[in-house]
Amino acid sequence: MDQNKTEAFYNRSLERALQILNAFGSERKPLTLAQLSESLGLSKATVLRLCSTLVKYGFLKQDPESRHYALGLKLFELGSIVLSSLSLREVASRYLTQLQVRLGKTVFLGILAEDELLYMDKREDAGMGISFTSNIGRRRPPYWGMLGPVLMAYLPDDEVDRLLKEHPLVRITKKSYVDNGAFKEWLREIRRQGYVVEDETALESIG
């Protein structure tokens, strides 16, 4: 389909509705009409009209007292359908379970998608007493935690450079890598040994 035909089928209202849904980040904080309007650069009247439609169909919910908006259960239902249809997750499911039982530790399944680390599945140790905040479906910078560097370690150097340009290294702990050269050398070490030993360099948030 050429560009003219694509533009003919382009729906501005649908785009704005999707922008509203995307305005709710991983923090899951409810937002007011004014906050959505300011964030998206749209008039309150336009945002109100779109939000009312999204509430009607369950994609958003609104607290009757505070009037704050939050993501609705319809997205959870659709997300569950997507997760159940992902062949990688299905294939890896029993191996994740076996690995968790064997190690007695929390294990993750993740991929690099759209230049970010995407958590696909996990198995937690019920007796651990603490839980990782990296939940299924959550996105992180590609270098995040221990899983991100393992995945990046097997990428070509030019791809690593591109990812680091898109997502510059940020200090997570006092031992985090913030120099690209040192980080890439660490990736080469990971590739040689085939695993990461956490030494407060890639510590994930725990809560």
Q: Convert the pLDDT of each residue in 54-65 to its tens digit.
A: 999 999 999 999
More confident residue, 112 or 135: 112
Based on the domain organization, do 40 and 103 belong to the same domain? no
Q: 70 and 23 in contact (C-beta within 8 Å)?
A: no
CB-based contacts of 75, cutoff 8 Å, min separation 6: 21, 59
User: Is the entire prediction scored with pTM above 0.85?
Assistant: no
Distance CA 178, CA 172 (A): 9
pLDDT score, position 205: 42
141 in the same domain as 59:
no
- Looking at the structure, tell me whether residues 90 and 38 fall in a common domain: no
Name the domain count of the chain: 2
| Residue at 141 is within a domain | yes
Query: What per-residue confidence (pLDDT) applies to 206?
Result: 39
Separation between Cα atoms, residue 81 and residue 73, nearest integer Å: 13
pLDDT in tens, 177-207: 889 999 999 999 999 998 887 766 655 443 3
37 has a pLDDT exceeding 90: yes
CA distances in angstroms from 201 to 96, 103, 130, 146, 183, listed in the order given: 25, 22, 20, 9, 10
H helix runs in the chain, sequence order = 3-8, 12-22, 33-40, 44-56, 73-85, 87-103, 147-152, 157-166, 180-193
In degrees and rounded to multiples of 5, residue 144 shows phi and psi of -70, 145
Separation between Cα atoms, residue 94 and residue 190, nearest integer Å: 26
Full domain range(s) for residue 8: 3-77
Judge whether residue 7 has pLDDT over 80: no
Residue 103, pLDDT score? 87
**Who has greater pLDDT, 205 or 79?**
79
Q: What is the CATH number of the domain that holds 48?
A: 1.10.10.10
- Average pLDDT over the chain reads 84
- In terms of domains, do 12 and 46 share one? yes
Burial class, 77, CB count within 10 angstroms (exposed 0-12 / middle 13-18 / buried 19+)? exposed
